[in-house]
Amino acid sequence: MTGKDLRRGGLARLTVEDIVAPGFSTPWDAPTIPPFPFTFRNVEVLTLAWRTSEAAVARVLPPPLEPTSDVVLAHVYRMNDVDWLGAYGESNVSVGCRLPGADIAGSYSPYLFLSSDVGVAHGREVHGQPKKLGEPLLEIRGDLTVGIVRRNGIDVLTGTMATKQRPDSLEGLARHFDFALNINLKAVDHIDGRPAIRQLTARRLADVSVHECWGGPCTVELRPNAQAPIHRLPVVDMLDGLYWRADFTLVPGRVIHDYLAAKT
């Protein structure tokens, strides 16, 4: 069954052309990885901002990336309607960084947690995001918006913000760093253990349409977990957060640094 035949519901045999084509995924007759582009609709997000130390940020950055801020942004998403993936929860913890010698600055993701196996596989295989299974939850509890990231039965992150009291915009986050340009460390080995891919990748969401955005002071509580060590970015000062709802599309990104090529 080719990729095209699969989308039509056909039963053709797999070909070499299918295997070497962009966007191929296994199992070939029930692929796991979505091809680009795919769209996220009516996504609800609680973005929590807190100040940590620049030394803490520097410790989670792979060289040659350098910190540009001592602020951490943690996004807790309720994905309501996503091509291929359906509905699930996600959280992305990001810090500001730049690539020296290049006009590239954005956000690096040291920790991501999802309740979707497809999302975990796609993030790791394509972007190099360090995604793990977890239980991110976003809820409105009366007059309080609550975001929780749970792993191994432990609430490793709990954030709160008053519900819809102050209209706001995403521009307020830009003063910390460009969170929309997401940078990741992609690492894949050959079957014999030799490094196959060692890259810094970057991608920016497309077709972003924000339906509503609300801001206000947020609270952030971190609990230690060796398998979800967000606590390595300790809270020094809690800042303003945002609750927002949007549509966007995930499109291909680019390689901004190739470690193996740099060695030759």
> pLDDT grade, residue 2 (50/70/90)?
very low
Active-site residue (options: 4, 131, 164, 263): 131
- Residue 17 DSSP SS3: helix
For 42-74, write each residue's pLDDT tens digit: 999 999 999 999 999 999 999 999 999 999 999
- Measured at the CA of 247, the angle between CA 115 and CA 90, to 5 degrees, comes to 15
Phi, psi of 48, rounded to the nearest 5 degrees:
-105, 135
Residue 40: pLDDT above 50?
yes
Residue 262 has a pLDDT of 82
Residue 40, number of CB atoms within 10 A of its CB: 21
> pLDDT grade, residue 172 (50/70/90)?
confident
Q: How many percent of the chain have pLDDT more than 70?
A: 95
The H-or-E segment that residue 108 falls in is: strand 104-114
| pTM of structure | 0.93
Residue 244: pLDDT above 90?
yes
Phi, psi of 113, rounded to the nearest 5 degrees:
-135, 135
Query: What are the extents of the domains in the chain?
Result: 1-31, 38-263
Length of the chain: 264
C-alpha closest to that of 177 among 111, 95, 100, 253: 95
163 Cβ contact list (under 8 Å, min separation 6): 140, 142, 143, 144, 145, 214, 243
Evaluate whether 242 touches 74 at the Cβ level (below 8 Å): no
131 catalytic, yes or no?
yes
Q: Tokens 């014999």 belong to which residue?
A: 192
> pLDDT grade, residue 12 (50/70/90)?
confident
Which CATH fold would you assign to the domain 38-263? Acetoacetate decarboxylase-like (2.40.400)
